[in-house]
Amino acid sequence: MLAFVDPSTIAGLSTRTITGTRDQHVHISYPVLPNAPGLTDKLRAEVTAELRAFDLAAPRPAPATPDEPHTAKPPELNVDWQLTAYSPQVIGVRLRTGRFTGGVWHDSLCTIWYDRATGRAVDSPGLLKEGALAAVAARVKRELARDGPDVRPGRVRPDTGTFDSMDFNRRGDLVVEFDDEQVAARYLGRVAVAVPNREAATLLSGVGALARAAAQSIPPGKPPPSAAFDRRYPQARSSRAGTVDCAVAKCVALTFDDGPGRYTSRLLSILTEHGARATFFMVGSNVVAQPALLRRIRDEGSLIADHSWSHRNLAPLSSARVGDQLSRTQDAVAEAVGQTPTLMRAPYGSLSPTVVQVARQLGLSIVMWNVDTRDGPDETADDVAARAIGGARRGAIIGMHDVYSATIDAIPRILTTLTQEGYVFVTVPELFPGDHMEPGHIYVSGETTPANATSPPPSSP
């Protein structure tokens, strides 16, 4: 078992999100560590290469239509991250890439290390001294040979591709991790070999020794949240709920997905300047990077909601996996702000009966949108603003993303124009009488009753 660094303990950490084109199910998240530009460049290059490979391999899904909102299992690329070490000398980032291009889901791992003294990123084999990779490969082969007929040690080659994910456990053993089906049959799951501490010590480079020391000094993490955990926290509610009566006022709800990211704090300042508040559907792996920003969102009257842990398409997943994706983010938010989210939005707006059932069990109402600004990496602020303003009506839920610069640029115009038209910007529950929303119900807007709102709109935040 590897130990990971709690990202909330690192001041100045933020995350970057890369999404695909509109009809692609692509979500990539990677961390930006303070004062480590060489690491950021390397991580960006790594995930960009993944995206390019996916673009080449994945068949383009047909655009969604109202009759056929989504194919059951479209191609998908998902990149998530963990910190394997963080010390004054060295940083380790483990990227986990999940890919579906037909057939079966495929997970792969890649761990990038960063030498803070030289400002250089190194691939995992850089943990080893000159010539030691062959020795590690031989050791790993011997170990795998003992593991039965469905493991293929012959596939282990002493090259960078095979050994692209090496880390250390708390004991200081060198842990070599393999991708799905890289060296073993699929049903065996994740395959890893630990080279024991003492043996590994003789094989490490200077950076490797520093990396091992850093991994061994990771403070023990918080215990995993228990079922009782959530109940210790009240349900999330805007600190300004009750100040607007939407039966009287012309209310709309702005919603922002996929953050928090590097623009979120700018967005928040704009909202507060205009006396507006919004609902943020956040990705858990971004939440843990910026707990202080979450507290600011809470304090300024906006609401934090659940957009899954790593933005996987939840529809094809088992209830256990869906539960993990949603409850981990609930727990992370609760830990940061002391309130448990009661709203969720499914990545890509993609639902299944299982997702609905799990949401209900977790006390989460499902929030879609009825105004689609179609914002994205290539959209202009003018277009985003025009769609938001053009679509606004009483009770509307407007879908946007706080990970695109152009979206943030559109916000002042949206707020100014709609304020002039008499609109008031509230959080989603405030659209409903008594702020009441039912867990497991699907809400498309504040205009319709949940019973009428069963089919998701044809678009994909």
Footprint of Zn ion on this chain (CB under 5 A)?
257-258, 347, 461
Cβ proximity to Zn ion: between 167 and 375 the closer is 375
CA distance 110 to 338: 34
Closer CB to Zn ion, 22 or 155, in the complex: 22
List, in order, residues 6 or more apart from 50 with CB less than 8 Å away: 28, 77, 79, 97, 99
Looking at beta carbons only, is 169 or 370 nearer to Zn ion? 370
- Give yes or no for a contact between 333 and 340, defined as CB atoms under 8 angstroms apart: yes
Catalytic annotation, residues: 257, 401
Q: Which two tokens stand for residue 441?
A: 């119900």
Return the bridge partners of 365, or none.
343
- Residue 330 CB, shortest distance to Zn ion, in Å, is 17
Q: Where are the alpha helices (H) located in 315-404, listed in sequence order?
A: 319-337, 353-361, 381-391
CA angle 195, 199, 204 (to 5 degrees): 90
CB of 292 to Zn ion, least distance (A): 23
Give the residue with the Cβ less far from Zn ion, 46 or 258.
258
138-to-151, 158, 163, 208 alpha-carbon distances in Å: 15, 8, 12, 19
- Residues composing the chain: 461
- Distance (Å, whole) CA 338 – CA 233: 6
Torsion of CA 351, 448, 255, 61, to 10 degrees: 40
CB of 395 to Zn ion, least distance (A): 22
- Whole-angstrom Cα distance, residue 184 to residue 179? 9
Judged by beta carbon, residue 97 or residue 460, the one nearer Zn ion is 460
d(CA 6, CA 353): 34
212 versus 311: smaller Cβ distance to Zn ion: 311
Whose Cβ is closer to Zn ion: residue 258's or residue 379's?
258
Assign residue 200 a region (left: φ > 0; alpha: ψ between -120 and 50; beta: otherwise): alpha
User: ω before 260 within 30° of 0 (cis)?
Assistant: yes
Q: Are 22 and 460 in contact (CB under 8 A)?
A: yes
- CB of residue 253 to Zn ion, shortest distance in Å: 16
Smallest separation, CB 345 to Zn ion (Å): 7
The residue among 296, 461, 276 whose CA lies nearest residue 367 is: 461
Shortest distance, position 352 Cβ to Zn ion, whole Å: 16
246: nearest Cα among 424, 70, 401: 424
CB of 411 to Zn ion, least distance (A): 18
Chain residue whose CB lies nearest Zn ion:
257
